[in-house]
Amino acid sequence: MLESEDLCCLLFELSSDDRLDILQELEKKAASVTALSKLLDLTTQEASRQVSRLKQAGLLLKDQRGFYRLTSYAGLVLKQLEGLRFVSRYKGYFRKHSLARMPEDLVLRIGDISEVTHLPNVSQALYGVERLVKDAQDYVWLVCDQISFGVFCELGKALERGTRNRAIQTKGFAYLPSIVQDYFQYYREHITPIERRSWNTGALEDRLVDQVDVFLFMSEKEAAVAFPLNSGKFDYLTFSGSEERFHKWCGNVFEYYWSKAQPLESLIKSPCEWLMENRKALTALRRILEGQKPMLKKDLAAGLERLQVTRKGNLTRLGYYAYSRLRNNGFPACAKT
């Protein structure tokens, strides 16, 4: 009960705009009551009264010059407030979005991303990600369920410039039948040669997961992050910036999920083996890529779904990677595409 009373007393002292302003000014440098009154446009009497309250609460101390400075306790309190201040500033966003699936230690460090720019418009946010990739010189790391065509093209150009990229994507993402033929024709002509060279040199590493808990892109210069809606889907409204703490936090997020994701090579092994044994299913994938209906018996169709090569009859990201591997290795049933 006493601990609860102490917390309530602390929160009461922090509930005043004037007292919070005083703490934030003293976080920059020590100051006298007179200086604080001028900085904050308070009367000397009011500034003195608020300072006395903060001193009594253990948040301030007075030095030999008569200047007030934060106690170590106050410094810790303000550090904890960063996250609350950030969340309250964007309370409308966080009412609709969830961090429930992220590791607790990273959520508790949410104050690390407080100095960011929020882009509440999807087109602006995706353009920002595209520009981030375009400006990258050393590396691009990403965690996403899907990639816009513009970003997709810039990733290929980045690899050609010599960036070293790491990607975590959802293996069950399904490509729309209406665009699959044109999309993969462009992919084979412009991206596949770059990917193959990059895989061979180790400049590109791909890992896949069942679902992603965050949408994240980062380079050596900046980062952009978006959190899932309460439904688990994404609206891609990002927080972006180049501030050091934010960049480090995003790097920690990526490393956490990278350690959990499965390397592409290990994931496509079983689908490739199954497809080689079931050539009619492989032919069906070729037909999907050609924009045609797959025409499969139920047992083979069920096998494709079970292996996550297709989802509701549509080709998945995992399915394309498996098919592409067989095609690149000259497997006969892939020859027509």
Is the model's pLDDT at 149 over the cut of 70?
Answer: yes
Nearest Cα neighbor of 167 from 229, 212, 119 is 212
CATH topology of domain 2-80: Arc Repressor Mutant, subunit A (1.10.10)
Confidence at 260, pLDDT banded by 50, 70, 90: very high
Average pLDDT value for residue range 2-21: 85
- pLDDT confidence of 181, banded at 50, 70, 90? confident
Count of positions (residues) in the chain: 337
Bridge partners, 204 (sequence order):
165
pLDDT class for 337, splitting at 50, 70, 90?
very low
User: CA 299, CA 312: separation in Å to the nearest integer?
Assistant: 14
Nearest CA to 217 out of 126, 83, 112, 107 is that of 126
pTM of the model: 0.87
According to DSSP, the β-strands at 215-219 and 223-226 are antiparallel
d(CA 244, CA 109): 14
How would you label 192-201 residue by residue, b for 16+ Cβ within 10 Å and e otherwise? bebbeebeee
Q: Summarize the confidence of residues 262-282 as an average pLDDT.
A: 93
The CATH topology of domain 91-172+210-260 is: Endonuclease; Chain A (3.30.870)
Q: How far is CA 7 from CA 10, 19, 288, in A?
A: 5, 16, 62
Q: What value does the mean pLDDT take over residues 225-230?
A: 97
Q: Return the closest-CA partner of residue 94 out of 85, 103, 104.
A: 85
- Enumerate the domain spans of the chain: 2-80, 91-172+210-260, 265-334
* 273-325 per-position pLDDT tens digit: 999 999 999 888 888 888 888 778 889 999 999 999 999 999 999 999 999 88
Query: 257: pLDDT confidence band, cut at 50, 70 and 90?
Result: very high
Residue range 130-148: mean pLDDT, rounded: 97
Name the H helices within the chain.
2-14, 17-28, 33-39, 44-56, 72-89, 91-96, 104-107, 122-135, 149-161, 180-186, 192-201, 244-260, 264-277, 279-289, 298-306, 317-328
In whole angstroms, give the CA distance from residue 224 to residue 241: 7
Beta-strand relationship, 262-263 and 204-209: antiparallel
Query: Beta partners for 174?
Result: 316
**Residue 130 CB neighbour total at 10 angstroms:** 19
Position 334, amino acid: C
3-state secondary structure of 213: coil
Percent share of the chain, pLDDT over 90: 74
Confidence band for 328, pLDDT divided at 50, 70 and 90: confident
Average pLDDT over residues 177-192: 82
Taking alpha carbons only, the member of 175, 215, 183, 171 closest to residue 321 is: 171
Does the pLDDT of residue 3 top 90, yes or no?
Answer: no
State the helix-helix crossing angle for 317-328 and 192-201, rounded to 10 degrees. 80
